[in-house]
Amino acid sequence: MTHLKPRVLRYESLPSTNTELSRLASEGAEEGVSVVADEQTAGRGRLQRAWSSPKGAGLYFSILLRPQIATNYWPLITMMAAVAVYDTLGDACRLQADIKWPNDLLSGERKICGILAEAIETPAGRAVIVGIGINLTHDAYPAEIANVATSISEATGRAVEREAILASLLRWLSHWYSLLNEPAGAESIVNAWSNRSSYAFGKLVQVSNGDEKWQGTTSGIELDGALRLSTEDGEIRLVRAGDVYSVRSR
Ligand code: BTN
């Protein structure tokens, strides 16, 4: 059984915790080394987007993993991280979130946390940096996206304790990552993800992948993390990349 032993390095300000951890990994950092910054000056999101990261307004966190699982299961690493954040929000903040495929955490259909996983080559082999950005207060995101973003303080109406959230996150990441590396790890993560997400079954969604857009109803998750969609003409299509949006029922 893999026992993850997180070791947290703290910084006041960094361009990006993912970038700093990638540098440390290329110098031989061990699995579990984690980076937290009070602010990021060049925070990065998925699809080359910027991730607004003002001082003290978010938890800006990255952890280095060296998974033993076959690479076709690597998409489950971000889903494992989403499950860990879900449990952290429940535990540390008494907040019941939702998970949008593959790894956005939502509260009241607005985004409260984003996850950016980046695979890298290091002298000790292939590794993955899992970057997690949790909005602690509404200052974490620009006013123009306030209709699609939210924060823990906004969603709970309570003061946010960043250290308690970080401690809980480290515990849940250790728990779910250990399970992922076990022989039935893929089933464990897919089941945990599906039990926590309203997107797993019966949700009408639109998928946008480059120029292509199509709709379907979700019908479960494949063992490698792909989203199964049943389309209007009765076909099953698998989604492995792209953005998924909930569509209001007709
Ligand atoms: C997304 O687009 O939803 C993913 C956002 C990931 C943001 C986090 S904040 C900590 C880590 N460092 C980064 O530069 N990005 C990730």
Query: Is the full-model pTM beyond 0.85?
Result: yes
Query: What pLDDT, in 10s, does the model give residues 110-139?
Result: 999 999 999 999 999 999 999 999 999 999
Rounded CA separation 32/35 (Å): 10
To 10 degrees, what angle do helices 185-196 and 75-93 make?
50
Ligand 1 closest atom vs CA 53? 9
**Residue to substitute in 14, 63, 99, 132 for testing ligand 1 pocket (most ligand atoms within 8 angstroms of CB):** 132
Query: What pLDDT, in 10s, does the model give residues 60-115?
Result: 999 999 999 999 999 999 999 999 999 999 999 999 999 999 999 999 999 999 99
Q: What is the mean pLDDT of residues 204-221?
A: 92
Predicted local confidence at residue 222, as pLDDT: 97
Residue of higher predicted confidence among 213 and 22: 22
Which among 245, 250, 248 has a CA at the least distance from the CA of 227?
245
Q: Which two tokens stand for residue 56?
A: 């003290």
Peptide bond into 102 cis (omega under 30): yes
Distance (Å) from CA 249 to ligand 1 centroid: 31
Predicted local confidence at residue 1, as pLDDT: 63
To 10 degrees, what angle do helices 185-196 and 162-180 make?
140
Rounded CA separation 136/151 (Å): 5
Query: What pLDDT, in 10s, does the model give residues 155-205?
Result: 999 988 999 999 999 999 999 999 999 999 999 999 999 999 999 999 999
Residue 249 has pLDDT above 70, yes or no: no
Distance (Å) from CA 31 to ligand 1 centroid: 19
Number of H helices, E strands in the chain: 5, 12
Q: Whose CA is nearest to atom 7 of ligand 1?
A: 133
Residues whose beta carbon lies within 6 Å of some atom of ligand 1: 16-18, 40, 43-46, 49, 51, 60-62, 104, 114-116, 131-133
Ligand 1 closest atom vs CA 45? 2
